Structures are given as structure tokens and as C-alpha cells.
A = this chain, B = another copy of it.
């Protein structure tokens, strides 16, 4: 059984990015990412801070824009308008989920698709379906596919079950996995799926993206399967200084022994997501340079 080391693979991906960043700097361009955080959700703060920190490590310009929890829709829209217009910013992301008074959909639709490094704008989602490489692909799904590829796991002809049909992970991941060149046979399962465990037992690769602690148990997994755990759930843990620990959607201890390969949580898909965000930001800067030349 192999534990897929997301940290290590993310570092390799970032090393490639670093070369592109240097090439851009040689042309006088520093890629810039703006991260908008509305409110004080602790998990969102952690994510935003990791993204900003990684930008710093990579020599990317980043800006964290914090809005109060009672920010109005118009205030957020105005922030996005300003960032769309700003030369130094190549990528914009609005950390999800925003507070309930904010219509996230309208905010995303306003982001310039060329700066939509989260890949959630309809134009980029459309390009993903159409396999148009000029678009931006959401970071978590593309991180999963990259993780499989860099680990030498064959996807062509593989039966993959993706558990979860969210816009952020399940659907884009299914589209990526079925695309030409990846060529998996993909089934998307969800809360209405009948006999999910039996379905999963037929899978060569299982991707769990439902946000339920320990949802995927040993009886979901055939011997020799590959399991990718996208879940990041907080579980109370008095032994930890911060009072909780992070666990995935997979019951790791009972599942891992059956697997050919499995991702841990933390240290699996998480680092890949941040690495792909950096890649998307560098891509956005590179496309702008091309456009202007």
C-alpha cells in the first residue's frame, strides 16, 4: 500500500511553476493574486492564510482583502470591479462560503473570466466541459487529477466513482476524468444513489468528496483500489492545542490496508489544491503577457 504524498507532489508542481514565475519576472511581470475574505469563519481564515503564505514563498504578489461579516452585496461587487480593473492583479478569488446575505453566484459572474483562478465563472466551467485549454480549471479537481498522474496511476479505461456532485469538486472532477487523454469511465454518485457501497466496490479509483467524516468504510473498497480523499472535516480533539484535528471522508485506518494507494488527510489533496491555485495565477499572468505582446 502506498500513501500518496500530496505535499511532495505539490512541491514538484510548484518547482515547475517557479520556473515560469522567474521567466515572467525576467519580462518585468510579477504574478499577483487577490484573495477576498468576507467575515471571520475560522476555517476560511486558515485557508486564506495558507494561500497568501504560499504566494509569499513563491515570490508572487498577494493581497488579502478582509470585509466585515455584515458587508453588503454591493460592497463586495465593488471590490471585485476594482480588482478586475487593476493591472497588478492577475487572479481573484472570493473565499467560499460567504455570509448568507451575499449572493456568491452574482459575485463569481462579475469576476473577469481571465482572472477567475478558482475556475468557477460560467465561461471557465464551459471551457472545462469543452476541453478548451485556455480556461481555468477549479483547483481541487485539477489537483486530484495531477496527483493521480504524477503518482503513475493509470486512469485510461479505469472505473472511477466520484462520490459527491458539487460544482466545486464532484462535477468538474468527473468532467476532467472523462476528458480525452485521461479517459476514465466515470460514475458520479450522490445522496440519491442506490447501494453506494456495492457501486464503489466495482471502482478501480474512488474519490470521496461529500464532507462527511469517515463516510467511506472498508466495505466500499475492493482490494487494490486507489482512494482519493477530498474531505477536510474538523473533529474535536482535546489533545490538540487548537482543540480539533482534520480528518477526511474516508475511514482511513480500516480502508488503507485494502488499497493499492490512498491519500492521507491532511497532506493529500489539500497541498495540491494550493499548488494548482498558484499554477492558475501564473497561467493568468502568462496569458496576459501573451495578450499584450
Mark A residues whose CB is within 8 Å of B.
105, 121-130, 132, 135, 156-157, 159, 165, 167, 171-172, 174-175, 178, 183, 185-190, 192-194, 199
Decide: A192 and B183 in contact? CB cutoff 8 A. yes
Query: Pick the contact of A187 from B105, B135, B185 — CB < 8 Å?
Result: B185
Decide: A159 and B194 in contact? CB cutoff 8 A. yes
- Please provide the 7 A-B residue pairs with the shortest distance between their CB atoms, ordered closest to farther: A122-B126, A125-B126, A126-B126, A187-B187, A183-B192, A185-B193, A125-B129
Decide: A165 and B187 in contact? CB cutoff 8 A. no
Q: Which residues of the other chain, B, contact A156 by a CB distance below 8 angstroms?
A: 192
Copies of this chain per assembly: 2
Describe A's contact surface by its main secondary structure. mixed
Query: Pick the contact of A125 from B125, B183, B190, B199 — CB < 8 Å?
Result: B125
Chain B residue with the shortest CB-CB distance to A127: B122
With a 10 A CB-CB cut-off, give which of A127, A130, A159, A172 has the most chain B CB atoms.
A130
The smallest C-beta distance from A116 to any residue of chain B, in angstroms, reads 11
Decide: B190 and A178 in contact? CB cutoff 8 A. yes
The smallest C-beta distance from A161 to any residue of chain B, in angstroms, reads 9
Q: Which residues of the other chain, B, contact A186 by a CB distance below 8 angstroms?
A: 187-188
- A122-B122, A122-B123 known; A132 vs B105 contact (CB < 8 Å): yes
Docked Cα-Cα span, A121 to B127, in Å, equals 9
9 A–B contacts from the bound complex (CB under 8 Å) = A105-B132, A122-B123, A123-B123, A129-B129, A130-B167, A183-B190, A183-B192, A185-B192, A186-B187
